[in-house]
Chains A and B, each alone.
Chain A
């Protein structure tokens, strides 16, 4: 009971008052605080992967705005990913998820996709559910969150609520503490840079796919663990001739329409200082490279969005633009509100097993 109370106290702290002093891009989402707290513990638990080697936090690390610092993300044992891990800052506000936008429902589905996908966490969720039931902390936390017992559906809902509380906090753009360089950069961003035509709204994204001609990342195709994960994905998504593809087709994998080839969802520009490298395949290491790329009118691709044209920015304008982009980054997420600090991931033996209902 003591533990239950402690959880309730922590859960209470997580709800709106704890954030009252923080400035966020949008009002907090409506979540069940106890469920979000449960989601936080799940997020850092490696037992959510088949061989217990990976947690959500393995690739979405709090000190990197829930990215992993790699151009191309890691993946399950024996595999490697062919995409860059996106930030989870403000992830609950998105209209669609994953760089190709193949999920457009809710974060429960996103959690399911990540946990069960063979090259990601490769988890049979029926085993996951029984693992959770073997951990007394989860048994208490599920109860505290209003669920009768641990279940895989409940775990996904809890992860959803945890992800919903991951909001940018206290970015200079939101607090009004922008430098004069950043303010000049904002003018370019909204004006001759044309950036705001896609990077719009409080998260600086319209959540829609575009082809900007981002260069192919050759590291996907030179590494059989990455490439075989891509083949698995392309085959599952029903792409023809998947063995001979040597490019990431982006949104095409769900539309199967030629002009959508190599188009990717506009990424949020929140938390960029924490989340290098950039683009869906991590080909750009710095914001300078990204700005240079757009200044040149993007890359080379027959389906490139025609709005991308050379901008002719001078170095000082680029510096201002970068200052503006940096002003969109807020506080670190490496805080108790977002990190399960306790190393308490243990199973407990059910002692009177024969007389205990499963």
Chain B
């Protein structure tokens, strides 16, 4: 009954700010998702979005003309990869879980440790990364110039004499800013539609925003505060069983510039540490949005939790343990919820996931011989 009391108390606080038409007050710290921010230096136009869609699906932006953005963020797989670790470039494997493109437009920083400041930068890093696209800008830009349709479209959209690869990344980002979902049952509920959530989902929301404390980090319209924490997610188990994964793990330590001592020693992903080189940031990853989660299994930065139930149980048990125990957040403590509460929390994710929204790949233009004096 203590729980009921607390929820009532929270409700009393919430009621002060909720719209009067609502039968149930809405929890604090949560809102419906509005339109995504559009950077002033990359305004949206229908032509740019259309170009970006082509480029998102076109393997021309990779080293081997074989790895499109869509290769590791597959529309039919929740705009992600439904495996613990993303696909790697041929001959390699990746080392982190592929994140969905849906609603990526809202993040302030991209990638699990926030290494990219924009979708434009993310597209570039993915096209060039050794275990992702493994492309080189000069080559990718040269290839774009050999596609008559791209010459025309880049001229129309950006005024380019010849397609600029930087503009390619801008167009992709513009396309990705259309891949947003603001009409989930959760959004409808937050906008005042009391019937948008089932009773079980409402119970889940109460827990989420109340006793379970999820809202401490998973708040705001995106359901994330975009801060970085170590929850004690166990290390990726493939590192012990997969030769290619062992190669990639060492490559990342080497490429991201840790000291030799750490390169020799670490057996887990240092996460945010790679960016800050502060030991206090070891093993920390950005809080992900909880939108579209139904389609983006498995979960966590390394896909080590297979189902939403696994995730909820993980939190219910107070998180886990990894080799960066010293940085594990104290905000996660065992909750001791029963199965009903766990079911309700999972049900809430149905409401924040909305409908699956894959897109069909467009027909792609190809390189053609380039006659003299085209431009």
| Chain A residues close to B by CB (< 8 Å) | 47, 49-53, 76-79, 118-119, 122, 124, 126-127, 129-131, 133-134, 221-225, 227-229, 231-232, 235-236, 243-244, 246, 347-350, 353-354, 357-358
Contact = CB atoms under 8 A, between A and B. Distances in A.
Interface residues of B, number: 48
Given A78-B66, A134-B246, A228 B92 contact: no
B90 interface: yes
Given A223-B369, A232-B138, A349-B241, A358 B63 contact: no
A224 B146 contact: yes
Contacts of B145: 228, 231, 243
B63 to A, nearest CB: 5
A76 B264 contact: no
A249 B65 CA distance: 27
B253 to A, nearest CB: 7
Interface string B65-98: 1100000000000000000000001111000000
Contacts of B63: 50-51, 76-78, 118, 122
Contact of B131 (A127, A228, A246): A127
Nearest to B130: A124
A118 B251 contact: no
B139 A244 contact: no
Interface string B228-272: 000000000001111110111111011100000001111100000
Contact of A51 (B91, B136, B141): B91
A50 B134 contact: yes
A22 B230 CA distance: 65
Contact of B139 (A126, A232, A353): A232
19 contacts: A50-B64, A50-B90, A50-B91, A51-B90, A77-B65, A118-B136, A122-B64, A122-B134, A124-B251, A126-B251, A127-B131, A224-B370, A227-B369, A228-B143, A236-B138, A347-B244, A347-B247, A348-B243, A358-B266
A130 B92 CA distance: 11
**Highest count of chain B CB atoms <10 Å: which of A224, A225, A246, A354:** A224
Interface string B147-175: 00000000000000010000000000000
B367 interface: yes
B276 interface: no
B8 interface: no
Contacts of B130: 50, 124, 126-127
B64 A51 contact: yes
A76 B162 contact: no
A244 B246 CA distance: 45
Interface of B: 63-66, 89-92, 130-131, 134-136, 138-139, 141-143, 145-146, 162, 239-244, 246-251, 253-255, 263-267, 367-370, 372-373, 375
Residue in A49, A227, A348 with the greatest tally of chain B CB atoms within 10 Å: A227
Nearest to A50: B134
Contact of A358 (B162, B242, B263, B372): B263
Contacts of A77: 63-66
B367 A244 contact: no
Given A50-B89, A244-B373, A228 B251 contact: no
A158 B370 CA distance: 41
A358 B92 contact: no
A122 B146 CA distance: 20
Contacts of A354: 240, 267
A49 B134 CA distance: 11
Contacts of B267: 353-354, 358
Given A51-B64, A122-B63, A222 B142 contact: no
B41 to A, nearest CB: 25
A277 B237 CA distance: 52
A221 B369 contact: yes
B374 to A, nearest CB: 8
B64 to A, nearest CB: 4
Contacts of A50: 63-64, 89-91, 130, 134
Given A228-B145, A349-B246, A124 B134 contact: yes
B251 A51 contact: no
Contacts of B134: 50-51, 122, 124
Given A51-B63, A134-B243, A227 B91 contact: no
B167 to A, nearest CB: 16
Contacts of B65: 77-79
Contacts of A127: 92, 130-131, 247-248, 251
8 tightest CB-CB pairs across the interface, nearest first?
Answer: A78-B65, A52-B91, A124-B130, A118-B136, A224-B367, A347-B243, A51-B90, A77-B64
B236 to A, nearest CB: 11
Contact of B372 (A51, A122, A246): A246
B258 to A, nearest CB: 10
Nearest to A357: B264
Given A129-B254, A353-B239, A52 B247 contact: no
B270 to A, nearest CB: 13
A118 B29 CA distance: 49
Nearest to A135: B243
B151 to A, nearest CB: 10
Nearest to A223: B369
B368 to A, nearest CB: 6
Contacts of B254: 126, 129-130
Given A127-B131, A224-B146, A228-B145, A350 B246 contact: yes
A349 B92 CA distance: 15
A182 B229 CA distance: 78
B117 to A, nearest CB: 23
Contacts of B368: 224
A241 B250 CA distance: 41
A263 to B, nearest CB: 23
B96 to A, nearest CB: 16
A317 B77 CA distance: 71
Contacts of B248: 127, 130
A52 B239 contact: no
A246 B141 CA distance: 18
A131 to B, nearest CB: 6
Given A224-B146, A358-B249, 11 more contacts: A47-B91, A126-B255, A127-B247, A130-B250, A224-B368, A228-B367, A243-B375, A347-B244, A348-B243, A349-B246, A358-B253
Nearest to A234: B142
A236 B367 CA distance: 21
A290 to B, nearest CB: 29
